[in-house]
Chains A and B, each alone.
Chain A
């Protein structure tokens, strides 16, 4: 059974439709990507899942439970952590405080320490800089912090919004390596939104290609990599 199931999802900004009926699913343990150009509706999809924007139609269910009408702050408690585009870290707080606030909803104090250790082992950089203000981190480190903070909520599924945005290629590789590690070693289910199709299709299991608020292609990463049309349009080959 699919972990996240989205059926005919519609979102409008005013009168302008941003998502025109999206249907897709993510199975447990998968990494799935939404790929598309600017304005395709990728970020809106993630925002709709975590209830930051209002939906005008369709349903979203998570682990068989209908979460279409839940409030944003409740979604996190259910196990979906959203790593925002542009990172959304709290720059006036220290790295450690940022991580701990990610575990704000949790009551299991002992496990929180264990998870903190785990985040530090994923991102040793964060441990080195735990006392520093988050605003003083480099872009890549902020992205790591943002992912680390989401992991502190002990989610069952991670929504990643353009983790490669504005980062140097070598840092992007690093981030993608971590994403794969998260999936392989911690069995985290991940829904990834990306413009960097080349890199993404080497990391994910499956992908959906979006255009103007609709899904135009879907398939396993291998299928998509070998599809001529997609090679031309998205991979520039």
Chain B
């Protein structure tokens, strides 16, 4: 079965990419386009969280805070300083990353539940700052009329342009993270997830890797935030709450911890699902909850954890067979 999947993998990928490229042409409904753009934003968010939670094994419950910091940083720069969208994107990446560093230095000394509590607290604090620092953030009223992107005087603020922008951003993030997690650096991160003491005893300094993963993760969330602010053109503190953090975490877990493909699937599915279930909106949350429970019972490794598993089982069998031959030949 694996070989079959391998055979059709390439044509499937080509069809998928073509579909994504032509999507705005085929489907002109602005509603569908809007949902796809949101899905793109959430894919970037879940990819970035996967880096810290899935690959490095550090549970973070405050990802929405970095999303929000990026959104506010980008919005304020674009509205107050009239910074170009693309520069704002880079600035929000850097600013969120700095906050990631500041939180990371003390927080990453903690493990597991304790880190989760600290990041949860950080998320709440950031939310409260958004609400109460009215001079800067305009409080609960939020920031309005955030400009869209423009390049060389050409306005790019149509839905189609936004769609292609987020597609490019997502593809870039996916490409970079894929390179990262498959490098020596990615391997070091995974050893920390598996066993910190063992990692240390082969010369890997856990704090360094956790911190870099944390900075990168929060920076990318900030980048997604800046894009979100420009796309929706209005931000308020209600978006960047605990609920959002949990949703992003659910995307990562449901998609598969430590799988980039999983994060993409998780992000898309959990953005589309509430929209698909809009017709039965009264029972939506019940359906949502039930799905989560069913997933955790039957596929705790997530949507895409499976491919890894199948591969392992396949290899165990191969190893076992070899083993038997070994014994016979003795």
Which chain A residues have a beta carbon within 8 Å of chain B's beta carbons? 50, 52, 71-74, 76-77, 81-82, 84, 88-93, 97, 100-102, 104-105, 128-129, 131-133, 136, 149-150, 153
Contact A52 B187 (CB under 8 A): no
Contact of A136 among B190, B201, B202, B312 (CB under 8 A): B312
Contact B187 A76 (CB under 8 A): no
Contact A90 B203 (CB under 8 A): no
Contact A76 B201 (CB under 8 A): yes
Once the chains are docked, how many angstroms separate the CA of A72 from the CA of B312?
33
Sample of 17 further A-B pairs with CB below 8 A, known A73-B205, A90-B198, A150-B202: A52-B201, A71-B205, A72-B200, A73-B200, A73-B203, A76-B201, A76-B203, A84-B198, A84-B201, A88-B201, A92-B190, A92-B194, A104-B188, A105-B202, A129-B319, A133-B312, A153-B202
Once the chains are docked, how many angstroms separate the CA of A149 from the CA of B204?
13
- The reply to whether the CB of B289 lies closer than 8 angstroms to some CB of chain A is no
> CB-defined interface of B175-197 with A at 8 Å, one 1/0 digit per residue?
00000000010011011001101
Once the chains are docked, how many angstroms separate the CA of A82 from the CA of B201?
6
List chain A residues, Cβ under 8 A from B322: 128
Contact of B315 among A71, A136, A149 (CB under 8 A): A136
**Chain B, residue nearest A135 (CB):** B312
- Nearest CB in chain A: distance from B199 CB, A: 8
> CB-defined interface of B308-330 with A at 8 Å, one 1/0 digit per residue?
00001001100100100000000
30 contacts across the A-B interface (CB closer than 8 A): A52-B200, A52-B201, A71-B205, A72-B200, A72-B201, A73-B204, A73-B205, A73-B206, A76-B202, A81-B201, A84-B201, A88-B195, A88-B197, A88-B201, A89-B198, A90-B190, A90-B191, A90-B195, A93-B191, A93-B194, A97-B187, A104-B184, A104-B202, A104-B204, A105-B203, A132-B316, A133-B312, A136-B315, A149-B202, A153-B203
List chain B residues, Cβ under 8 A from A73: 200, 203-206
Residue of B188, B202, B205 with most chain A CB atoms under a 10 A cut-off: B202
List chain A residues, Cβ under 8 A from B200: 52, 72-73
Once the chains are docked, how many angstroms separate the CA of A232 from the CA of B312?
48
Residue of A50, A52, A93, A101 with most chain B CB atoms under a 10 A cut-off: A101
- Nearest CB in chain A: distance from B258 CB, A: 8
Contact B188 A101 (CB under 8 A): yes
> CB-defined interface of B203-242 with A at 8 Å, one 1/0 digit per residue?
1111000000000000000000000000000000000000
Contact B315 A132 (CB under 8 A): yes
Contact B194 A90 (CB under 8 A): yes
Once the chains are docked, how many angstroms separate the CA of A133 from the CA of B322?
15
- Nearest CB in chain A: distance from B67 CB, A: 29
- Nearest CB in chain A: distance from B179 CB, A: 17
Contact A93 B190 (CB under 8 A): yes
Contact A104 B316 (CB under 8 A): no
**Chain A, residue nearest B203 (CB):** A76
Contact of A88 among B190, B198, B204 (CB under 8 A): B198
- Nearest CB in chain B: distance from A141 CB, A: 10
**Chain B, residue nearest A87 (CB):** B198
List chain A residues, Cβ under 8 A from B198: 84, 88-90
List chain A residues, Cβ under 8 A from B201: 50, 52, 72, 76, 81-82, 84, 88
Contact B205 A93 (CB under 8 A): no
**Chain B, residue nearest A77 (CB):** B203
> Given A71-B205, A72-B201, A104-B204, does the pair A91, B194 have CB atoms closer than 8 Å?
yes
Once the chains are docked, how many angstroms separate the CA of A84 from the CA of B196?
12
List chain A residues, Cβ under 8 A from B206: 73
- Residues of B256-295 at the interface with A, using a CB-CB cut-off of 8 Å, are none
Once the chains are docked, how many angstroms separate the CA of A152 from the CA of B187?
16
Contact B197 A84 (CB under 8 A): yes
> Given A97-B187, A104-B188, A153-B203, does the pair A136, B197 have CB atoms closer than 8 Å?
no
